Amino acid sequence: MSIVMGLMVVALCSMAAAEPAGNQPVQEQPAVLAVARANGEKAPVAYVGGRVERTGVFALVGPDVQLSDMLKVAAAEMQRNDASVEIARVGSDGKPHSIIIPMPLLNGADPVKLTIQPGDKIMVVAPK
């Protein structure tokens, strides 16, 4: 299963890299949806306050799941190193919290391990 998912992610990464960058109308991109669909959700796309956000609500996929490869694919269609990945969740205190991971860290040699919880939203964010 993970091999098939890996092949799908690699194929989508190739497709995403071919997308032109710029201020075009925002559309759902296959590479971005690969991240959400890995957990059975569809990711809507929207502009929010000067940032491009692609958001998917994720189901619980297990503790310490390594998502760096899927997150790299989601950011690849932007072809930008100033993008970041933001994981937003409501904490046990009832307040919203965010974990922001810059692309240079995701593109580094060390794997990035994250714990995903039910209701988490994962966004790929880049300045306009």
Average pLDDT over residues 93-110: 71
Count of Cβ atoms closer than 10 Å to residue 121 Cβ: 19
What's this model's pTM, rounded to 2 decimal places? 0.41
- Mean pLDDT, rounded, of the chain: 53
Per residue in 76-115, is it b (16+ CB within 10 Å) or e — as a string? bbbeeeebbbbbbbeeeeeeeeeeebebeebeeeeebebe
- The pLDDT of residue 95 is above 60: yes
Domain parsing of the chain, residue ranges: 2-127
Given a cut of 70, whether residue 98 has pLDDT beyond it is yes
Q: How far apart are CA 33 and CA 46, in angstroms?
A: 13
The pLDDT of residue 49 is above 80 = no
